[in-house]
Structure 1
Amino acid sequence: MSFSSMSKQQVLDAGEGAGEEVVELIPGLPEEVAEKCLLHLPFLYHRLFRTVSSTWNRFLTDAPAKPPPLAPAAAAAAAAVSVSFSLPFLFAFAFDPASRRLQCQALDPFSRRWLLLPPVPGGAAAGSFAVVGLPRRGEIYVIGGVEEGGDKAVRSVAVYSAARNGWEEAAAMRTPRGYMAAGEVGGRVVVAGEDGEAEVFDPEAGRWLPAAPRCGAAVARYDAAAAGGKLYVTEGWAWPFERAPRGAVYDAAADSWREMARGMREGWTGSCAVAGGRMYIVAEYGEWRLKRYDEARDEWRMVAGGGVPPEVRRPHVVAGEVGEVAGGRRRIYVVGAGLDVAVGTVSAAAAAGAPPPHDVEEEVVEWEVVKGPAEFAGLAPCNAQVLYA
């Protein structure tokens, strides 16, 4: 049922149908086509577009609204539909090394232009805070950190809403934290400190809850990723490479920690992005080749197609689209200095020569570079997220 049809039904159900006509979204266009047109409007201007008519206002207000509770299967189907009708916007957080000011930009997927977002609240030092996106909710959380110019950790949390294009204060963490690992697991935000203490934020309830502590030696955050209902934290290799890196995995369903598999932690040699449910890393060495984690074999497999284009320079951050794109492909973004972006589209590789083992899927990546504006030349990215807005 289309939005306009649902609006009419809601009026009738409310007993207000007599003599009231719901205006078409775009006169002369089929309702389904009109809905897709409105879903392509830049989210930054939704407030303005809501003033066009009461029908536009209802559509732009209700379309991203949270649905009523559904059975798991129905909820999964509804989530897939909501993502397919939304557009993936790349959000990049970057510091100006001269002013030390943090700003957030969103890359429009059609025009490939960067859109400046409202200033990020707080004044935490670069890299000390965590950033977690909830793609299907259209929200980004900036969590904790260490005060600029000091060593005092903070509890504050700010949340950005794409629907409102604004920031607001969220419930503070139970414990001040800086330089923590964090990620979205099962629709909730999980943060874990180097000391093993962890907590979980439920966006529906708006509160933080304690999570099971991680036992054992401290694991400093080199990189972290969330996939398959788990948060993965690795300390990475460190010079002089005399000891294999440690790693830990938090299972949200069991509220428990376990040691990371050996092949995963020893092969995790770059920044990880999760795309279409799969974990990829952009290797820190050589040509910045892309690797995918094969859980069954506990190994990182090289993705064919070459490394990140050399136009994209360090420092860099990575992000992935939560859903698959057309044809079962997956999309990864590498944001480099000056907000130059390498967009990688990963697809199944065509068979060539000797076939791989029958249960191993080979992949290939194709890269496209989106150059940042000249005025962004000095910006250094510190985080990237993908939201469906």
Structure 2
Amino acid sequence: MGFSLDIILPTLVSVSDHTSPLAKKWKSKMKKTKKDAALAVIQTLESELSLARGPLIPGLPDDIALNCLLQVPVQSHPACRAVCKRWHLLLGYKERFFTRRKELGFQDPWLFIFAFHKCTGKIQWQVLDLTHFSWHTIPIMPCKDRVFPHGFRCVAIPHEGTLFVCGGMVSDMNCPLDMVLKYEMQRNRWTVMSRMLTARSFFASGVIDGMVYVAGGNSTGFFELDLAEVLDPIKGKWRPIASMGTNMTSYDAAVLNGKLLMTEGWMWPFSFSPRGQVYDPRSNNWESMAVGLREGWTGSSVVVDGHLFVVSEHERMKLKVYDVETDSWDAVEGPPLPEQICKPFSVNSSENRIYVVGRNLYVAVGHVRRMKLTCTFEKKWSFFVGWQVVDPPEAFSDLTPSSSQVLFA
């Protein structure tokens, strides 16, 4: 049966020619670097495919053919790997495919959604390819059967293609967990990491300079913690850091300007202003959060272009941004979240895009633009957001998101 390479291979984008000597030198150097990397991968691949014969794609050098095949969408792999043995060995295993992509420097975003069934509480991960908007699954996360889906905290090191699931709580027992699980997209597998020093749930977490920080949360008997610790993912070891000086759980947390921000959020009957703490790893010191920051933090946060945004659970679920200079919040121009996005939701970002996952795993993609103002002396800039919605499969109709992380692979 014949097939068309026009259908299988991605479109090759031409780059405009630059004629300056410096541009030519840079272009030549980049070509040589990429070619050397491709040849190294080809040599490894050749050793694995020593029993297979014939070119990857007839008429093309193997380095160019490999470059093309590594850009084939994952949803097309079942059809493509039936072409020949060499394609099957490359595209038949996600581990090999993503390893080759990483070696050659391909980096596309994927949205990993930690969700649970609204009736049974059973947890699962669903993955959205943010380039082709197709859905995928990963191996089941190895953890206890009876876990409360809200108590976990998930963080990621996006360009390493790894995410961490920490802590949590056993359902109906008020028993916090100290477990730590790591998922590696390149290997498509879960690994059990060293346990946290303190079991906790509903705590703050974040990644700063490749280190995983956790703070506060609930201990046994809903006792609020002031303890904090940090994980070195390379060494696989936890060590304590400065205590917060105040016992509190986390409503939401974010990493901004190299610091971990933690807020307990507003609590009924809203008689007292919420507390907030800020940790600076350079000085190993905690300080109280600015009043305007913690009082206006009324939803799930995300950092884009060095600015803290919040998708408010109130105010018609519009997006707002924090102004550090005035310790105040400004509404982001543009429409509120699309009506398909219903609470509870989770939020994450990649470059200038915000991803909001709502009930039934509808995903709103917000394109954020920064605009410079020239008609006022009070503000130098403002932001605008426009939304588009990615519809989920019908099979997700009973799923509720708990967390979402962006990984690159």
- Return the TM-score normalized by structure 1: 0.81
Distance 1:246 1:113, change over 3 A: same
Secondary structure of residue in 2 paired with 1:146: strand
Superposition deviation, residue 29 in structure 1: 6.9
- Letter of the aligned partner of 1:337 in structure 2? R
8 A contact 1:25–1:31 mirrored in 2:
no
Secondary structure of residue in 2 paired with 1:382: strand
| Greater CA drift, 37-46 or 133-142 | 37-46
The 5 Å alignment of 1:171-320 reads: 171-194=194-217, 195-215=225-245, 217-320=246-349
Secondary structure of residue in 2 paired with 1:119: coil
Q: Give 5+ residue unaligned stretches, structure 1.
A: 13-22, 66-80, 325-329
8 A contact 1:222–1:234 mirrored in 2:
yes
Distance 1:139 1:283, change over 3 A: same
8 A contact 2:42–2:63 mirrored in 1:
no
Does residue 335 (structure 1) correspond to residue 357 (structure 2)? The answer is: yes
- Letter of the aligned partner of 1:371 in structure 2? D
Which residue pairs with 1:69 in the alignment? none
Distance 1:60 1:292, change over 3 A: same
Which residue pairs with 2:4 in the alignment? none
Does residue 383 (structure 1) correspond to residue 403 (structure 2)? The answer is: yes
- Letter of the aligned partner of 1:388 in structure 2? F
Distance (Å, rounded) in 1 between the aligned partners of 2:325 and 2:211: 26
Which residue pairs with 1:150 in the alignment? 173
8 A contact 1:320–1:333 mirrored in 2:
yes
Answer with 1 or 2: which has the greater Rg: 2
- Letter of the aligned partner of 2:195 in structure 1? A
Superposition deviation, residue 211 in structure 1: 1.1
8 A contact 1:185–1:227 mirrored in 2:
no
8 A contact 1:2–1:31 mirrored in 2:
no
8 A contact 2:139–2:190 mirrored in 1:
yes
Distance 1:298 1:255, change over 3 A: same
Superposition deviation, residue 232 in structure 1: 0.6
Distance (Å, rounded) in 2 between the aligned partners of 1:57 and 1:230: 34
Superposition deviation, residue 349 in structure 1: 3.5
Query: Moved runs in structure 1, 4+ residues, more than 4 A?
Result: 7-12, 23-27, 29-34, 43-46, 56-60
Distance (Å, rounded) in 2 between the aligned partners of 1:275 and 1:350: 16
Q: 2:160 aligns with which of 110, 125, 137?
A: 137
CA displacement, residues 223-263 of structure 1 (integer Å, 9 cap, x when unaligned): 11122211110011122222111100111222211111121
- Letter of the aligned partner of 1:338 in structure 2? N
8 A contact 1:95–1:102 mirrored in 2:
yes
8 A contact 2:158–2:406 mirrored in 1:
yes
Distance 1:60 1:340, change over 3 A: closer
Superposition deviation, residue 87 in structure 1: 0.8
Secondary structure of residue in 2 paired with 1:143: strand
- Letter of the aligned partner of 2:184 in structure 1? S
- Letter of the aligned partner of 2:391 in structure 1? K
Does residue 42 (structure 1) correspond to residue 74 (structure 2)? The answer is: yes
Which residue pairs with 1:102 in the alignment? 123
| Greater CA drift, 183-192 or 147-156 | 147-156
Superposition deviation, residue 40 in structure 1: 5.5
Which residue pairs with 2:389 in the alignment? 369
Secondary structure of residue in 2 paired with 1:100: coil
- Letter of the aligned partner of 1:136 in structure 2? H
Superposition deviation, residue 358 in structure 1: 7.3
Superposition deviation, residue 61 in structure 1: 3.0
Distance 1:234 1:30, change over 3 A: same
Does residue 114 (structure 1) correspond to residue 135 (structure 2)? The answer is: yes
Superposition deviation, residue 104 in structure 1: 0.3
Distance 1:29 1:178, change over 3 A: same
Does residue 5 (structure 1) correspond to residue 27 (structure 2)? The answer is: no
Superposition deviation, residue 6 in structure 1: 3.5
Distance (Å, rounded) in 1 between the aligned partners of 2:111 and 2:42: 37
Distance (Å, rounded) in 2 between the aligned partners of 1:107 and 1:209: 34
Secondary structure of residue in 1 paired with 2:67: helix
8 A contact 2:366–2:386 mirrored in 1:
yes
| Greater CA drift, 25-34 or 242-251 | 25-34
Superposition deviation, residue 297 in structure 1: 2.2
CA displacement, residues 341-372 of structure 1 (integer Å, 9 cap, x when unaligned): 11100002476xx7243762111000001111
- Return the TM-score normalized by structure 2: 0.77
Q: Give 5+ residue unaligned stretches, structure 2.
A: 1-31, 44-53, 82-86, 218-224
Distance (Å, rounded) in 2 between the aligned partners of 1:372 and 1:50: 29
Distance (Å, rounded) in 2 between the aligned partners of 1:254 and 1:50: 52
